[in-house]
């Protein structure tokens, strides 16, 4: 297939682009590089033995998108591009609404103009909030507790409305749990700008000596060891989930939602210990107050994706820690080292 990938130079986007190229698909990445590096695509090409096309543009740029569709004639789109930092979204909410909603609306309009009928969208388990208890099934109640999460929730609703109005449109909403890990080559991985918000990149930078110690946000949650638990999924498994969803859309129309998770919760301390084991490095940490907005526990019921897509997560947290460490150790400053 010819697949247009927005945000394809980013963390999950680059791993998915690699998986698509390895499976023989043709890929055009549209990315404005606002939070990613084109070096990731050079490395994807080196790993795949063939390259994805690349257009440097914001997805809200209708003229650029129109030209990309006219030139590449994609049969499907995977839409990763978006702003994703929870704390930042509470400071600059309009940027989040403009970028995340605006890009999706422009993309859907341009897809319609070019007769492109399949879209896979990067949603988040953040839409489950604290409205019910995990494990979350796809029909659990949804809502969101911050502007970033609300953009994901609103985009899901936009996609459902557009699919209801157009019986030829095929939509897969993928609700990611916590993506971690890196390609086992250590050539591509997560490269956050500034101080990482998320646990794994922070732990990896402590192990690499770039940060002194980890702050563990809360050890008084109602969980087995008191630290928050999450469903950490290897990014290579996550990428495979996108290919499975894309395959499903080839012979199923309508609107679909799937969780992409493992179903297995791990605590912050489980991750620290797994990382220590994988890297052989001790991770100094200190317990700090809870981070505002954090939930005690979030993990998937992954059965629907298993039965409908034939997809399941295969790789362990230990494998993900080893892969993250390999990436971080070889690229202490991420793609800036290239
Ligand atoms: C966060 C976002 C979520 C978003 C996801 C992907 C929040 C509240 N949630 O998920 O909406 O979809 O990232 O980007 O920001 N932790 C520490 N010390 C750290 C960092 C994290 O103890 O330095 C703990 C957290 O308290 C949590 C766990 O590690 O228990 C995972 O945190 P993180 O990696 O930030 O992911 P989420 O909060 O689950």
Does 147 have pLDDT greater than 90? yes
Residue whose CB lies within 8 A of the most ligand 1 atoms, among 268, 270, 321, for a mutation test: 268
53 CA → ligand 1 middle, Å:
33
CA 224 – CA 220 distance, rounded (Å): 10
CA 113 – CA 111 distance, rounded (Å): 6
288 CA → ligand 1 middle, Å:
14
Q: pLDDT per residue over 53-73, tens digit each?
A: 999 999 999 999 999 999 999
How much is the pTM? Answer: 0.98
- Residue 108's φ and ψ, nearest 5 degrees, are -65, -40
CA 110 – CA 69 distance, rounded (Å): 8
**Would residue 304 count as lying in a domain?**
no
Q: How many CB atoms lie within 10 A of CB 108?
A: 21
Atom of ligand 1 nearest to the CA of 221: 30
- Six-digit token pair at 62? 């209708």
Q: Find residue 27's DSSP bridge partners.
A: 3
Q: pLDDT per residue over 260-295, tens digit each?
A: 999 999 999 999 999 999 999 999 999 999 998 899
When pLDDT is cut at 50, 70 and 90, the band that residue 83 belongs to is very high
CA 219 – CA 211 distance, rounded (Å): 21
**By the 8 A CB rule, do 162 and 182 touch?**
no
Q: What is the mean pLDDT of the chain?
A: 97
- Output the pLDDT for position 219: 98
**Judging by DSSP bridges, how do beta strands 266-267 and 229-230 pair with one another?**
antiparallel
**Would residue 197 count as lying in a domain?**
no
**Would residue 334 count as lying in a domain?**
no
Active site residue 128: no
126 CA → ligand 1 middle, Å:
10
- Output the pLDDT for position 269: 98
CA 180 – CA 238 distance, rounded (Å): 9
CATH of the domain at 67: 3.40.50.720
When pLDDT is cut at 50, 70 and 90, the band that residue 337 belongs to is confident
Q: pLDDT per residue over 86-113, tens digit each?
A: 999 999 999 999 999 999 999 999 999 9
Does 304 have pLDDT greater than 90? yes
269 CA → ligand 1 middle, Å:
13
**Would residue 311 count as lying in a domain?**
no
**By the 8 A CB rule, do 75 and 53 touch?**
no
- Tokens 């988040």 appear where? 124
Nearest CA to ligand 1 atom 36: 198
- Output the pLDDT for position 301: 98
Q: Is 180 exposed, middle or buried (0-12, 13-18, 19+ CB in 10 A)?
A: buried
- Six-digit token pair at 294? 């954090």
- Output the pLDDT for position 293: 86
User: Within 13 Å of residue 261, how many CA atoms lie on the same side as its CB?
Assistant: 30
198 CA → ligand 1 middle, Å:
5
- Residue 6's φ and ψ, nearest 5 degrees, are -85, 140
**Would residue 146 count as lying in a domain?**
yes
Per the structure, how many domains does the chain have? 1
**Would residue 200 count as lying in a domain?**
no
CA 159 – CA 69 distance, rounded (Å): 20
Closest by alpha carbon to 27, among 36, 35, 37, 17? 17
| 223 secondary structure, DSSP code | S
Mean pLDDT of 187-204: 95
Does 319 have pLDDT greater than 90? yes
**Would residue 269 count as lying in a domain?**
no
- Output the pLDDT for position 275: 98
Angle between helices 39-48 and 11-22 (to 10 degrees): 20
Residue whose CB lies within 8 A of the most ligand 1 atoms, among 217, 260, 297, for a mutation test: 217
Q: How many CB atoms lie within 10 A of CB 300?
A: 29
Q: How many CB atoms lie within 10 A of CB 43?
A: 22
* Residues shown for the chain: 338
Q: Which domain holds residue 161?
A: 2-180+232-261
Residues with CB under 6 A from ligand 1: 84, 86, 124, 126, 149, 178, 197-199, 202, 214-217, 228, 230, 268, 291, 293-294
**Would residue 276 count as lying in a domain?**
no
Across the chain, the runs of DSSP E, i.e. the strands, are 2-6, 26-31, 53-56, 76-79, 118-124, 170-176, 178-180, 214-217, 229-230, 232-234, 254-260, 266-267, 285-288, 297-298
* Percent of the chain clearing pLDDT 90 (strictly above): 98
When pLDDT is cut at 50, 70 and 90, the band that residue 15 belongs to is very high
Q: What is the CA radius of gyration of the chain?
A: 19
Does 338 have pLDDT greater than 80? no
Distances (CA, A) of 45 to 7, 51, 68, 95: 16, 4, 20, 32
User: Within 13 Å of residue 150, how many CA atoms lie on the same side as its CB?
Assistant: 11
Mean pLDDT of 136-144: 97
């Amino acid at each position: 297939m010819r697949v247009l990938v927005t945000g394809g130079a980013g963390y999950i986007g680059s791993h998915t682009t690699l998986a698509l190229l390895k499976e023989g698909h043709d890929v055009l990445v549209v990315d404005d590089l606002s939070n990613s590096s084109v070096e990731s695509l050079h490395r994807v090409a080196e790993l795949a033995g063939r390259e994805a096309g690349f257009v440097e543009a914001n997805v809200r740029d209708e003229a650029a998108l129109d030209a990309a569709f006219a030139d590449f004639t994609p049969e499907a789109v995977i839409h990763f591009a978006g702003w994703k930092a929870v704390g930042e979204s509470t400071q600059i909410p309009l940027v989040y609404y403009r970028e995340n909603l605006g890009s999706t609306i422009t993309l859907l309009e341009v897809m319609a103009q070019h007769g492109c009928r399949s879209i896979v969208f990067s949603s988040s388990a953040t839409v489950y909030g604290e409205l019910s208890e995990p494990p979350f099934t796809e029909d659990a109640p949804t809502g969101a507790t911050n502007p970033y999460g609300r953009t994901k929730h609103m985009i899901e609703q936009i996609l459902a409305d557009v699919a209801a109005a157009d019986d030829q449109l095929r939509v897969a909403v993928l609700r990611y749990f916590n993506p971690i890990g890196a390609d086992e080559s250590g050539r591509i991985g997560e490269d956050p700008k500034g101080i990482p918000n998320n646990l794994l990149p922070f732990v990896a930078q402590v192990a690499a000596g770039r940060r002194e110690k980890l702050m563990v946000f809360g050890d008084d949650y109602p969980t087995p060891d008191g630290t928050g638990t999450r469903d950490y999924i290897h990014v290579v498994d996550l990428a495979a989930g996108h290919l499975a969803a894309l395959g499903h859309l080839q012979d199923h129309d309508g609107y679909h939602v799937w969780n992409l998770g493992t179903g297995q919760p791990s605590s912050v301390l489980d991750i620290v210990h797994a990382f220590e084991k994988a890297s052989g490095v001790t991770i100094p940490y200190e317990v700090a107050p809870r981070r505002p907005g954090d939930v005690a526990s979030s993990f998937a019921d992954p059965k629907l994706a298993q039965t409908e897509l034939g997809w399941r997560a295969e790789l362990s947290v230990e494998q993900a820690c080893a892969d993250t460490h390999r990436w971080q150790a070889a690229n202490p400053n991420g793609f800036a080292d290239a």
